[in-house]
Amino acid sequence: MRGRNDGGQSKRPIVLFWAMVVCLCFLFLYFSGSNGHTRSAAIEYGTKFSRSLGWGSDADGDDGLEESIFGTGDANDVKPRSFPVCDDQYSELIPCLDRNMALQTRLKLDLNLMEHYERHCPLPERRFNCLIPPPHGYKVPIKWPKSRDVVWKANIPHTHLAKEKKDQNWMTVAEMHRDEGSGLAPWPARLTTPPPRLADLYVTADTFEKDTEMWQQRVDNYWKLFRPKVKQDSIRNIMDMKANFGSFAAALKEKDVWVMNVVPHDGPRTLKIIYDRGLIGSTHDWCEAFSTYPRTYDLLHAWTVFSDLDKRGCSAEDLLLEMDRILRPTGFIIVRDKAPVIVFIKKYLNALHWEAVTVVDAEPSPESENEMILVIRKKLWLPEGGST
């Protein structure tokens, strides 16, 4: 009896081996059939899934499995869709600070630690793929510096603030809201002097000075492109979506503007250089929404932001919607990027209620090879329809 049992156990690995061989044969026949469509689909899904987890391929893209989200720049590469308008209740939506979303997804947040005030971004399938509407009766904001003291009531319909702050003489209720504001004394020398902490990034003073000079030339060129459309007081709040050393903001030292410098979270850690120049800024991942109210900025500057997004496999459509959310009606966008990116964005202008002001080749230089400049203006449109 013991001999028979030992024999059965010795045969078991052989049976398992042949069972595995048969399974592998079936799998090979399944994936190699019908012109390889199933196999290709599986590879494509696997590649996209791995990129979503941050695995992906090498930086040169030698595997050839994932094409650019912008195609080749051909007119037929991209077929944009129209965007619906979000419900009125979302006119002040900040997607990653949406407490309703946190409740709906049943996030386990510690209220004692104030975790409900932290960023909690929605998953892609729960994002609002729609245009954030302005409040009913919204008007083009009053220009600076008058807007320091007076704003349209319809643009910030929160009269309870006036009641809570009445003893501080901070705000009064009328057709306009009035508050006490204050002006950013610029420090010109600090803006252009190489900070000591450049050494932390192995950046020389010469590189810093050349960067400062290059962006001064670029900004001067931008304002020449703006001149037909922009009045002297049209632009106050500006965001540089990829600030690097902050030289774009430094080049605006003669303008009466305020600049938020954004440093990509996965790029060089240059935020300390921006601080050393007397500027403000933050780090951010443009695969997510920025933590600011809708209609905050008069001008967005996007230098190769979309190309960087392409390398990470994030949604360019989501970024366009986010830029529309944080841009004021009649505000401007400067996109400085490769030609396929410019072609891609131009196809979405009508869907976003944007218009192209101008598109030109970037000034020739080693730093801006094959780049183009697209200047966009956001139209004023209201939830009841129409745009101006």
Record the pTM.
Answer: 0.77
Q: What is the pLDDT of residue 289?
A: 94
Neighbours of 242 (CB within 10 A): 20
Provide the token pair at 131: 């245009």
Q: Is 221 helix (H, G, I), strand (E, B) or coil?
A: helix
Residue of higher predicted confidence among 4 and 101: 101
Predicted confidence (pLDDT) at residue 358 exceeds the cutoff of 80 = yes
Q: What is the pLDDT of residue 173?
A: 61
Q: Tens of pLDDT along 92-115?
A: 999 988 877 777 777 777 778 777
% the chain with pLDDT above 70: 72
Q: Tens of pLDDT along 66-94?
A: 567 776 666 566 667 679 999 998 899 99
The beta strand positions in the chain, using DSSP E, are: 150-152, 176-178, 237-240, 258-264, 280-284, 297-303, 327-338, 354-361, 371-378
- The mean-pLDDT minimum among 69-73, 229-233, 353-357 falls in 69-73
The CA distance from 132 to 84, in Å, is: 9
Q: Before 228, cis peptide (omega within 30)?
A: no
pLDDT level of residue 45 (50, 70, 90 thresholds) = very low
Question: Helices (DSSP H) in 286-358: which residue ranges?
Answer: 305-312, 316-326, 339-346, 349-352
Residue of higher predicted confidence among 97 and 367: 97
Predicted confidence (pLDDT) at residue 350 exceeds the cutoff of 60 = yes
Neighbours of 107 (CB within 10 A): 12
% the chain with pLDDT above 90: 46
Instruction: Say what the alpha-carbon torsion angle 303, 305, 306, 312 is, to the nearest 10 degrees.
Output: 150
Mean pLDDT in residue range 158-171: 66
The CA distance from 191 to 249, in Å, is: 9
The CA distance from 174 to 177, in Å, is: 6
